[in-house]
Structure 1
Amino acid sequence: MDPALCSLETCSIEDAYITYQPTIAGNSVYIALFGILLVIQAVQTPLYRMWWFSGSMLIGLLLEVMGYAARIVFHDDPFNFDFFLMNLICLSLAPVFFCAALYFLLGRIIIVYRGEDISRLRPRNYAIFFVSCDGLALVLQSAGGAITSVADDNSTRTIGVNIMIAGLAFQVAALTLFITLTSEFAFRLRRRSRRQQSSIADGESRQDDFALIREKRGWKVFLLSLCLATLTVYTRSIFRVVELNGGFDSELANDEIAFMVLEGGMISITCLCLTVMHPGSALGQRSHKEKVVQLLETAPMSPT
C-alpha cells in the first residue's frame, strides 16, 4: 500500500510511517522549550563571544524546533513522507551539533587546570579531532537522509536508513572515546592535585592565572552540568541507534513514550545544562571575561 494515497479517514494508522499520532501537547512543549533556549543562546552569543560553541548550539536548537514542528503537522497526516522525513532528519542531526559544542569545551577546561602535561592530546587538538569525527557523523547521517528522501523503492530507502545508522553509531563511538579521555584526564588531575597538596603542606605553593576561576562555586556547578549534558546526549544517541536499527516498524520505533523521554527528554536536559550554565559565565564576569578568553586563546598548547 502506498501511504501517499492514504488519510486517517481511508486507512488504518497501522499503515502510516509510525503507528501513532504524535501528541500535539508534548511536542508543543518541546518546541516552546527549544525556542526559548534558542533565543537565550542568541542573546548570550555576543555577550560571551564563544563563537564556535554558540554557533553549534544555535544550529542544533533550530533543528530541534523544526523537527518537533514536523511532528506536530505529522499528527494530522501520519501518511505524509515529507513530514516524517523532516522529523527524522532534523532530530537525528541536531545532537551532532550539541556534541560539537561539548568537544569545544574540553580543551579550555584542560587549560584552566593547567593540565597540558597530563593530557593525552594538546588542548586545541581535542576540538580538531572530535569535531572532525562529528563532521563525518554529520555527513553520513545527511547522506542517509538524502538517499531516503529521493528513494523510490523500499530497498533504496533501507540503504539510506542504514547509512544514517552508521552515522549515529560513529557518533556514539566518538562520544565513548571522548568520555574515556575526559575521565582519564579527571583521574590524572585528581592524582596530581593530591601530590600538590602534599607539596603545599611541605611549604611549597603554586598559583596561576586561573586559580580564581577554579575556586568559584559556579565553576564546580558548570563542570557538573557539563557531565550531565554529556551523559544525556550519550544516552539519547545510544537510543537512536537501537531504535533505527530495529527498523521503522519495530516496537521501539513506534513507542511514543520512549521517544519523548529518551529523545526529547535527554536532549532537553543537555540543552538546559549548556544554556543555563553557559561556559562563558563559568569563566568569570563579563568585565573579567575578556582577559580570561584571551588567556585561553594564547595559553601554550603543548606540555610545559
Structure 2
Amino acid sequence: MTSTSVALAPTTTADPSDYCTLDNPTCNLSEANFDYIPSLAGNVTYLAFFAAILLVQLVLGIRYKTWGFLVGMSGGLVLEIIGYVGRVQLHYNPYPFDPFLEYLICLTIGPAFLSAAIYLCLGRIVVIYGETISRVKPRTYTAIFVSCDFLSLVLQAAGGGITATAHESQPSLSQTGVNIMIAGLAFQVFSLFIFICMCAEYAWRVHKNPSQLNGRFTALRSTFMWKAFLAALSLATLTIFIRCCYRVAELKGGFSGSLANNQTLFLIFEGPMIIVACAALTIFHPGVCFKGYWGEGNFSFKTNKNANRRSYEPNQKWNDVELTSADEMPPKTASTINYN
C-alpha cells in the first residue's frame, strides 16, 4: 500500500477580532482594542445621562423654537449616545474593530456639534448687552466660529472615515486618518481658545462702558436666570475645551499609548466633561433664560435696503415690558429687521 502525502495550504495570521472573545483562553487583552475591559457601569451611566439630556433638549428646543441651538445640542448628544453604545459593546467583547470605530469616531466629533451650539449664543449675548460695545457685528461672531467649527468637524469626520476604511494591511493609511482627526481636534481647541478670548474681551468692554448698554434689556440682564445662563455657558465652554485638550493628547500618543489605555483618565476627562457641559446648557437653557428674546439675535443674509438698522438709545428704559414670555414682547416697528 502506497502512502500519499497531502500538501497543507499555507496558514495566514488571522486578525484577533475574527476569533477572540473574553472566553477564549488563547487570547489576551494585548490583542484587544484596549489594555482594559471598558467599565459597564461607567459607560451605561454616561449613556443614560446623555439619553435623558437629549430628551429634555428636544422638549425645550421645540417649546422655545431655538432651532439652531437644538440642532447643535441634539447632534452632539446623539453622537455621544452612539459612541457609548459602542463602548458597552466593547465591554462584552473588546476585540472587534467595528464597535471600536463606532466609539472612536462618534465620541471624537460629537463635541464639535456642542461647540456650534455654544457659538450661536455669543451673537445673541452681544445683542442683549449692546452692539455698539462690540468690535464686530453679532452675526460676524456666529459666522466666524461656526465656520471654524464646521472645518474642524470636516477634518475629524474625514480622518475617522479614512481610519474606518483602511485595511489592516494599510497601517500607514490608518495612521494618516488618525493624524487628520488630531488636526481637526487641534483646530477645535484653537477655535475654542480664540472664542474664550473674544468673550473675555467683550465682557471687559461691557464692564468699561456701562453707559452704552442696550437699555431695552436692562430688566433681562438683572434676572438670576440670565446670570446663571452666562455662568453655565462659561462652564460648558471650559469643560469642552478641557476634554478636547485631553483628546488631542490621547490620540497623539497612539492607540497603544498610555493615555489611550488608561480607563480612569477616560472616565474623568471624556464623559464627565461633556455631561457637565450638556447638563449646564440644559438646566439653564437659552430658551428659558432669554425670556423669549432668543430670536432677537437672528439674522439673515438678505436685507431690506430701505430699512434702517435697529438701534436703541443707551440706557433706554422699557419698564412696561414684562419679561415672562415671547408673547409679551413689545411690538416690532416698521424699522425693525433681522440682524445682518
The alignment's TM-score, normalised by the length of structure 2, stands at: 0.81
Question: Are 1:7 and 2:49 matched, yes or no?
Answer: no
Aligned pairs for 1:104-143 (under 5 A) are 104-114=120-130, 116-143=131-158
Is the contact between residue 61 and residue 287 of structure 2 (CA under 8 Å) also seen in structure 1? no
Aligned pairs for 1:197-216 (under 5 A) are 208-216=215-223
Query: For 1:250, what is the secondary structure of its paired residue?
Result: coil
Shift of 1:299: 6.7
Structure 2 match to 1:163? 180
Query: For 2:198, what is the secondary structure of its paired residue?
Result: helix
Shift of 1:287: 5.3
Q: Distance in 2 between matches of 1:207 and 1:118?
A: 9
Aligned pairs for 1:238-277 (under 5 A) are 238-277=245-284
Shift of 1:117: 2.0
Is the contact between residue 60 and residue 98 of structure 1 (CA under 8 Å) also seen in structure 2? yes
Shift of 1:237: 0.5
**For residues 1-20 of structure 1, what are the alpha-carbon distances to aligned partners after superposition, in whole Å with 9 as ceiling and x for unaligned?**
72323322131101111111
Please identify the structure whose Cα radius of gyration is greater.
2
Structure 1 match to 2:35? 19
Structure with greater helix percent: 1
Q: Distance in 2 between matches of 1:117 and 1:16?
A: 57
**For residues 25-83 of structure 1, what are the alpha-carbon distances to aligned partners after superposition, in whole Å with 9 as ceiling and x for unaligned?**
01010111000001101111221101000111011111111110110011121111000
* Gaps in structure 2 of 5+ consecutive residues: 1-12, 293-322
Is the contact between residue 233 and residue 281 of structure 2 (CA under 8 Å) also seen in structure 1? yes
In the alignment, which of 111, 115, 139 is matched to residue 95 of structure 1?
A: 111
Distance 1:63 1:291, change over 3 A: farther
Q: Distance in 2 between matches of 1:109 and 1:294?
A: 21
The alignment's TM-score, normalised by the length of structure 1, stands at: 0.90
Is the contact between residue 141 and residue 163 of structure 1 (CA under 8 Å) also seen in structure 2? yes
Question: Are 1:219 and 2:233 matched, yes or no?
Answer: no
Return the letter of the residue paired with 1:126.
Y
CA RMSD of the aligned region, Å? 2.0
Is the contact between residue 50 and residue 280 of structure 1 (CA under 8 Å) also seen in structure 2? yes
Q: Distance in 2 between matches of 1:133 and 1:291?
A: 36
**For residues 244-263 of structure 1, what are the alpha-carbon distances to aligned partners after superposition, in whole Å with 9 as ceiling and x for unaligned?**
00101111111111111100
Structure 1 match to 2:326? 289
Is the contact between residue 41 and residue 275 of structure 1 (CA under 8 Å) also seen in structure 2? yes
Structure 2 match to 1:200? none
Aligned pairs for 1:33-44 (under 5 A) are 33-44=49-60
Is the contact between residue 230 and residue 270 of structure 1 (CA under 8 Å) also seen in structure 2? yes
Is the contact between residue 111 and residue 299 of structure 1 (CA under 8 Å) also seen in structure 2? no
Return the letter of the residue paired with 1:87.
Y
Q: Distance in 2 between matches of 1:213 and 1:179?
A: 23
Distance 1:251 1:293, change over 3 A: farther
Structure 1 match to 2:164? 149
Is the contact between residue 283 and residue 292 of structure 1 (CA under 8 Å) also seen in structure 2? no
Q: Distance in 1 between matches of 2:58 and 2:279?
A: 14
Shift of 1:291: 5.9
Shift of 1:208: 2.2
Q: Distance in 1 between matches of 2:179 and 2:28?
A: 27
Is the contact between residue 236 and residue 266 of structure 1 (CA under 8 Å) also seen in structure 2? yes
Query: For 1:121, what is the secondary structure of its paired residue?
Result: coil
Q: Distance in 2 between matches of 1:292 and 1:252?
A: 52
Structure 2 match to 1:29? 45
Query: For 1:247, what is the secondary structure of its paired residue?
Result: coil
In the alignment, which of 285, 299, 317 is matched to residue 278 of structure 1?
A: 285
Q: Distance in 1 between matches of 2:337 and 2:252?
A: 44
Q: Distance in 2 between matches of 1:127 and 1:207?
A: 20
Q: Distance in 2 between matches of 1:192 and 1:278?
A: 28
Question: Are 1:81 and 2:88 matched, yes or no?
Answer: no
In the alignment, which of 189, 212, 215 is matched to residue 172 of structure 1?
A: 189
Between the aligned residues of both structures, percent identity stands at 44
Equivalent pairs, count:
289
